[in-house]
Amino acid sequence: MLRLSGKIVFRGIAMGPAVVLKKKDETVERQKIEDVDHETARFEEAKAASKEQLRKLYEKAVEEVGETNAAVFEVHQMMLDDAAYTDAVLQMIRTECINAEFAVAVTGHDLSEVFANMEDDLMRARAADIKDISDRLIRNLNGGEEIGLAAMEPSIIVADDLTPSETVQMDKEKILALVTVHGSADSHTAILARTMDIPALIGVPMDLEQVHTGMTVIADGIRGEVIFDPTLEAVERAEGQIKEEQERQELLQEMKGKETVTRDGRRVYLYANIGGVEDLGYVLENDAEGIGLFRSEFLYLGRDPLPTEEEQFQAYRQVVQTMKEKKVIIRTLDIGADKQADHLCLGKEENPALGCRAIRICLKRPDIFKTQLRALLRAAVYGDLSIMYPMITSLWEVDSIYQIVDEVEEELTREQIPFKRPEQGIMIETPAAVMLSDELAEMVDFFSIGTNDLTQYTLAIDRQNEDLDSFYDPHHKAVLRMIKMVVDNAHRCGKRVGICGELGADPKLTEKFVRMGVDGLSVSPAMILRLRESIRQMQ
Ligand code: PEP
Ligand code: MG
């Protein structure tokens, strides 16, 4: 059995045989050619063939996924007519006397790099389109066939990444789920998967040489994991969940627009956890009552230089404006441990989970912290924004944070930039914070319990270490008692307390948490309606 986690881009669970799509070796060789006219004619023919294929794909897609989602194939046809692209290819063939395949490959690569480096998410997603049309042209120049995906039995598609044309060629009746190593929540794969209503997971760290077509695979887009070659126990669990899901799916839609309130009138707030602006669609789709955790560090990961104040301000403002008057809790940079960002030059640590992470970085590097705080205070003008600080262990840290916030306020006032001081809360995710929660409650506006780290630090088990799964008991009495203690201490001070770790989405504990007095749960958007349903059934 091989169990891997991934990012859910569309919720659901499926089990079936894998169809592993390995990209053919697309290395295109540079060849000198004699007859330039013949080569340009070959290119024009390949272009015409590509356009004809795209026209047919467009018609098929309109029928299956509607005009809006099919539009990508119209865009591809237009791109093939784009003078900047075709002129560059033709000029390369003529001036360098090289084969059309090579000219297409180089032009496609250069142009997609330009898009990949753009700031706008949508523009970045266009890089995949350029690659898609270039691959199609090369296939046609080689007299190649499209991947035959129509004739398969119901399967789970496993791939490095999927181009829109690959996705739409598939007979959607026969696709149970999509699982890819790469891709983004904004990619066409994700959009099409949502429209096709099939589970999809991206960012699954698979070695495609280790898995093969025909292997049984469980694509669990509820827990965010993929299991290859599952044990009998895992198969039985998946079968149970699939059945349950099918029955529930329809009923759940009725939960939209309803209040999350127990039968005896206790109101519980159901918020969503997000990693970026691109997740807002799921938040709205699932009728979340706000955002309880925006993991802002995703703005910092995988990029150099750090995001500017303006860039952050735009992202935060977009989130609060989209959520209208609903609550949006943005957590400040929680980098370190499993979320490494090389450009922060944190240096190698023997034990990163106990090292320089989250608020410790912010307090050691007030320059980085202030940039984020400025963006947050500015965005707070546009809606109901709250700031939340991660990994607190001591009272003095909160004092230091407030001092920096005061400085930021003074700066913004001096610069006459509009801002608002938002509500400020902390994450309770270390045993130290639990033990000090009575005093911390007096200093902050709210608590949010981060059970992922709280469990890790309480049980002394690295949350990333799969080998310790048998020791990692998220329902451990010690953790549950800590949660109760934090809730009581918060309420004694009249402060709100929620749970934003994964445990908050565990339906087996929902009732327990509500009875403990937890005010809100912040969970992945796909869990909202499910939890609302069970809370509404509680006495
Ligand atoms: C947590 O620790 O429970 C939490 C919500 O934060 P993260 O998982 O991002 O560390
Ligand atoms: Mg945490």
pLDDT tens readout for residues 354-371: 988 899 999 999 999 999
63 is a domain residue: yes
> Ligand 1 centroid to 499 CA: how many Å?
10
468 in the same domain as 338: yes
297 in the same domain as 240: no
Ligand nearest to the Cα of 449, by number: 1
What whole-number percentage of the chain has pLDDT above 70? 89
402 in the same domain as 526: yes
208 in the same domain as 81: no
Annotated catalytic residue, options 76, 97, 188, 476: 188
417 in the same domain as 305: yes
Pocket test for ligand 1, best of 428, 453, 527 (most atoms within 8 A of CB): 453
204 in the same domain as 97: no
DSSP structure string for 76-95: HHHHHT-HHHHHHHHHHHHH
DSSP label of 97:
T
Domain count, the chain: 3
Q: Is the pLDDT of residue 466 over 80?
A: no
Exposure string over 295-330, b if 16+ CB within 10 A, otherwise e:
bbbbbbeeeeebbebeebbbbbbebbebbeebbbbb
Which atom of ligand 1 has the smallest separation from the CA of 448?
Answer: 5
Domain, as residue range, for 498: 256-536
Query: What type of residue sits at position 276?
Result: G
134 is a domain residue: yes
More confident residue, 244 or 25: 244
Answer yes or no: 109 catalytic: no
Give the number of other CB atoms < 10 A from CB of residue 91: 12
**Nearest CA owner, ligand 1 atom 8:** 452
**Nearest CA owner, ligand 1 atom 7:** 452
pLDDT tens readout for residues 188-242: 566 566 656 689 998 899 999 889 888 999 999 988 999 999 999 999 999 999 9
**Nearest CA owner, ligand 1 atom 3:** 450
Q: Is the pLDDT of residue 412 over 50?
A: yes
| Residues within a 6 A CB radius of ligand 1 | 293, 295, 334, 429, 450-453, 500-501
154 in the same domain as 112: no
What whole-number distance in Å separates Cα of residue 472 and Cα of residue 53?
Answer: 52
What whole-number distance in Å separates Cα of residue 410 and Cα of residue 403?
Answer: 11
Ligand nearest to the Cα of 293, by number: 1
Answer yes or no: 188 catalytic: yes
Which atom of ligand 1 has the smallest separation from the CA of 338?
Answer: 10
356 is a domain residue: yes
Give the number of other CB atoms < 10 A from CB of residue 478: 12
For the segment 397-417, the average pLDDT, to the nearest whole number, is: 98
501 in the same domain as 434: yes
Q: Angle at which helices 121-141 and 100-116 pack, to 10 degrees?
A: 170
Pocket test for ligand 1, best of 338, 357, 427, 452 (most atoms within 8 A of CB): 452
* Cβ–Cβ under 8 Å, residues 530 and 245: no
pTM of the entire predicted model:
0.64
**Nearest CA owner, ligand 1 atom 1:** 450
pLDDT tens readout for residues 496-532: 999 999 899 888 999 999 999 999 999 988 789 989 9
**Nearest CA owner, ligand 1 atom 9:** 295
Coil vs helix vs strand at 113? helix
pLDDT recorded at residue 115: 83
Question: Which CATH number belongs to the domain containing residue 513 in this structure?
Answer: 3.20.20.60
